[in-house]
Amino acid sequence: MPDQGPPADTTSAGPRLLGPADVRSLATALDLRPTKQKGQNFVIDPNTVRRIVRESRITADDVVLEVGPGLGSLTLGLLEVAQRVVAIEIDVKLASLLPETVGTYAPSRRDRFELVHADALRVEKLPGPRPTALVANLPYNVSVPVLLHLMALLPSLRHGLVMVQSEVADRLAAGPGTKVYGIPSLKAAWYADVRRAGTIGRNVFWPAPNVDSGLVAWTHHDPPTTRASREQVFAVIDAAFAHRRKMLRGALKELAGSAEAAEAALAAAGIDPLTRGEALELDAFVRIAEELHS
């Protein structure tokens, strides 16, 4: 490993966070060239890391799941506070260095850290205690699928904060009647109350992305009580937004079997067949799914 500056603190004072020189030094050690394909944009600003940890509202009681830890910038910040951090990393180079980085920069916290070398979209179980919080700088290209997969897989998650592309953050936190309200908004609402928690500029990353980032905070709630399954409700949501601005009578025609069947189900659910999907809250989609599968 190349020179990383002053020796890390070996007391219980806590981790030393990564600055720009640290990040570039670690990348050089790996001969790493960040790629857009893998969504590799590393946070180089310790104050941004502290802000994310603060906004996540994690405590010493939390077992935190992190996805895409990269070179460890956020990991070290999480280890300052959390009881335990489990990090899922798909990149073999990054995964190989991260335990060593934690040992160097946060030696008194190394026993609180565990690495899972896996694809977060395909992971089915995690080692150790069940995670209670998800805090991550999610790769832009898979941020929504990863978030929804982990919300479904891990009901022990009670709250979280994720950093995603600003436009995606708007979609996740959007409400009915807004231009960006749609599939991510509704599917995330199945699991949690979601809100925008701030914006992150481009200059805190290396390399700098072409877009701003947004913070999305969420708090778990029980899913709706319904006779329909989650898959059935999500199928209605997908169909309703497959052709945006299309009236529900036509949008649900294929799913229902005919326009007449779709109209009958909508009427039974108490919804005007001429309504568009972007006007409805989650409970309306639940009622439609119940009528389609009654």
Residue 87 reports pLDDT greater than 50: yes
278 or 9, higher pLDDT: 278
The answer on pLDDT for 11 being more than 70 is no
pLDDT digits (tens, 9 = 90+) for 189-206: 999 999 999 999 999 999
pLDDT at 13: 60
Tens digits of per-residue pLDDT, 194-238? 999 999 999 999 988 889 999 999 999 999 999 999 999 999 999
What's the mean pLDDT in 44-68?
97
Which has the higher per-residue pLDDT, 136 or 2? 136
Residue 244: the pLDDT is: 73
Percent of the chain at pLDDT exceeding 70: 94
Judge contact between 75 and 98, C-beta under 8 A: yes
pLDDT at 14: 72
Q: Which domains does the chain have, with CATH numbers?
A: 20-220 (3.40.50.150), 230-292 (1.10.8.100)
Residue 193, Cβ neighbours under 10 Å: how many?
13
Helix-strand-coil split of the chain, %, nearest 5: 45, 15, 40
pLDDT digits (tens, 9 = 90+) for 246-256: 899 999 999 99
Its pTM stands at: 0.91
**DSSP per position, 169-193:** HHHHH--TTSTT-SHHHHHHHHHEE
Say yes or no to pLDDT of 1 above 90. Answer: no
Dihedral sign of CA atoms 126, 129, 133, 136 in order: negative
At 102 the pLDDT is 98
Residue 143 has pLDDT above 90, yes or no: yes
Average pLDDT of the chain? Answer: 93
CA distance 208 to 40: 10
Q: What is the mean pLDDT of residues 262-282?
A: 96
pLDDT of residue 246: 87
Q: Is residue 10 pLDDT above 60, yes or no? A: no
The 10s digit of each residue's pLDDT in 23-45 is: 999 999 999 887 655 667 899 99
The count of other CB atoms within 10 Å of the CB of residue 1 is 12
The yes-or-no verdict on residue 245 having pLDDT over 80 is no
Q: What is the pLDDT of residue 294?
A: 83
Angle at the Cα of 140 from the Cα atoms of 192 and 159, rounded to 5 degrees: 25
Q: Mean pLDDT across the stretch 51-70?
A: 97
